[in-house]
Amino acid sequence: MSKRFTFTTALLLSLAATACSSTESPATGAASSAAPAAGPVVHDGRAVEITANDTMKFSIVEIRAKAGERLSVTLVNQGTTPKFSMGHNWVLVTSSANVDAFLMAAAEAATTDYVPASKRAEILAATKLLGPGERDTATFAAPTVPGTYPFLCSYPGHAQVGMRGVLIVE
């Protein structure tokens, strides 16, 4: 009986210590922060908001713009899975980019949030890699040459299952 009591006591103390040291909010599981809430987003172009979640789909898969038009694309991650296993970003590439080669390079670029420095010349705009509840905005001028420009999530496997779309410049 003494061993069982000692084990149970040790287990309860361990659980209590873990619960007391947590920085997560019990209601949401999100890390708490003393930082003030961000102010309203100021756009320097036509605002386009795209949401992403754990289904690995963008809410918008086609954006139309005039040549040279300023756009502010905001990506909002509405998912709940942690960034290290389900992060999302939004990357716009040139019309001539080899998307498969870009994605291969991206898969090896974990230290740069899956945006490969070796393919920088092919990237027209990008957001940072986002975790649950995060948002980021990429503001840029649409290309001046009419055409179709792919955008995608470069986190490994996401574009391959459909997390992609196109910017059509008219």
In the predicted structure, residue 70 carries a pLDDT above the cut 70 = yes
Which one-letter DSSP state was computed for residue 63?
E
Average the pLDDT over each of 20-24, 79-83, 97-101 and give the range with the smallest value. Answer: 20-24
Please give the biggest Cα pair distance in the chain. Answer: 80
Q: pLDDT grade, residue 41 (50/70/90)?
A: low
| Residue 168 neighbours by CB under 8 Å, 6+ apart | 62, 63, 64, 65, 147, 148, 149
User: Please, which pLDDT band fits residue 23 given cuts at 50, 70 and 90?
Assistant: very low
Tokens (6 digits) for 96: 């001539």
Domains of the chain: 46-169 (2.60.40.420)
| Burial class of 34 by CB neighbour count within 10 A (0 to 12, 13 to 18, 19+) | exposed
Average pLDDT over residues 86-109: 98
pLDDT number for residue 44? 84
Q: What average pLDDT does this structure show over 14-35?
A: 32
Beta strands in 4-160 (DSSP E): 46-52, 62-65, 70-77, 91-93, 123-126, 135-141, 147-152
Q: pLDDT digits over 110-167, tens only?
A: 999 999 999 999 999 999 999 999 999 999 999 999 999 999 999 999 999 999 999 9
Q: Which residues pair with 123 in a beta bridge?
A: 93
pLDDT at res. 12: 34
pTM exceeds 0.85 = no
d(CA 13, CA 98): 56
Residue 101: pLDDT over 60: yes
Question: Does 25 have pLDDT greater than 80?
Answer: no
User: What count of Cα atoms within 13 Å lies in the side-chain half-sphere of residue 104?
Assistant: 5
